[in-house]
Chain A
């Protein structure tokens, strides 16, 4: 009896030891590359290029960031790319949320033929490789004379993000009982008004999540920017960084700083919402 207890408590200890080990390895593998890039970006370019980058640097400098942001390297300084990226991704976030909330409202509140089919299509469209959409999208934008404009990027990124946003929002709308709107209708409230004053405030976390999802999608998107944008002044951050990377003599200091500036804003705005996002995602996936 005593032996069994000892063995059991040993088993529990082993179990938690393995769990502890697994969690540590997981965290290390997931986070260390980020630490390494970030800490490298804070060291002088000369030390980086001579292979003397340290894990724990003795002196920290922001010169890489200053060089990147205030020097006019090539056609235009990096801060313009950041502004371009911000402009496009915020527009995409607003437009996608608008489209998605209207679409999700329809899917959630109306009964019509083919409703479930359309609902599934929202996920199904993601089967198509973006690479397949590139040629037709380019053609379309050429016909509309939108090649090399930010409007083209806004429209395309919205197309990429909006179906998933609709999918997310539909489950949020579904979870709000229809009785609220019925009560409002009896009091003489129009459908549009009850959408605006009842559903939108209640689904606000969902709409925020959808908007952030759209923004993150647009901020990091690379292929369409690569195809659509030719002028140096209209590049977004990902395209500019990829161009830096294909230089023969890579300026690692600047590149590292640029990558940190590409990744950190996303982490800052997305991580606090990760829980809502995951919940919405799972509800959409499993319900």
Chain B
């Protein structure tokens, strides 16, 4: 093997596809983090009650999360299939659209569609984790804060948020890792296309390494991502993650 200095790195920054992938990865990570923190938080607050069948529901909603990625990709393809898919059938018969929508084949729709699918898989798990944290707050504390005259927002801000803060941090961390690393879903459904519109960094690494057989460049991208994630992980474990004592 020849030592090539920083050539692999410097060529990357001139690379159009690399810049697109960085952009897509950013959209992907930020967008899915937003969905995957806000929706589980809302759901967990809603579900934080005793009700019939609650235990069963908590088990059942784990199903998307444990479904293998190939199964999820297949469901996505089958439901969103332009001619045969159920989604288009419903949209057409209800008159929302005139032409079938090609969700995964369109430049502007492919990335948001996959983002929703990926979130669909993570949200139930995030909800369960937050719900578990919520359930560690004793009921009498709610009563106490109510007696003190707190409204719902104040209850949320001064009681719930501090109590579930470390779990929220943990879910953030899990979601971050989960999303930043998403490869299989994208690869099986779109392979990074159409025209690189779903090309994120993991997909690019795989392409460069095993399709273009350009190991040097793939390793350069991998190194940069690795460094970035080590920093993020370090910050998280050092400052944000405390093993809370409930």
Contacts and interface: CB of A to CB of B under 8 A. Distances in A.
A32 B71 CA distance: 14
Residue of A222, A241, A256 most packed against chain B (CB within 10 A): A222
Interface stretch (B3-11, B75-83, B105-113, B139-147): B75-83
Nearest to B71: A263
Contact of A282 (B57, B129, B184): B129
Q: Place the interface of chain A in its size category.
A: 35 or more
Contact of A227 (B66, B210, B237): B210
A127 B173 CA distance: 9
B215 A278 contact: no
Contacts of A10: none
Contacts of B187: 223, 226
Contacts of A220: 67-71
A158 B105 CA distance: 36
A259 B70 contact: yes
A245 B225 contact: no
Nearest to B222: A132
Given A237-B70, A266-B66, A286-B243, 19 more contacts: A18-B46, A27-B60, A30-B64, A33-B75, A51-B89, A53-B86, A130-B183, A131-B181, A131-B206, A132-B225, A222-B70, A222-B188, A238-B68, A241-B74, A242-B188, A245-B77, A255-B74, A262-B71, A286-B170
Interface of A: 16, 18-19, 22-23, 26-27, 29-31, 33-34, 36-37, 40, 48-49, 51, 53, 120, 124, 126-132, 134-135, 216, 219-223, 226-227, 237-238, 241-242, 245, 252, 255-256, 259, 262-263, 266-267, 270-271, 274-275, 278, 281-282, 285-287
Question: Considering the complex of A and B, which 10 residue pairs feature the smallest CB-CB distances, nearest first?
Answer: A220-B68, A129-B181, A238-B70, A127-B233, A131-B202, A263-B71, A259-B74, A222-B184, A132-B222, A274-B59
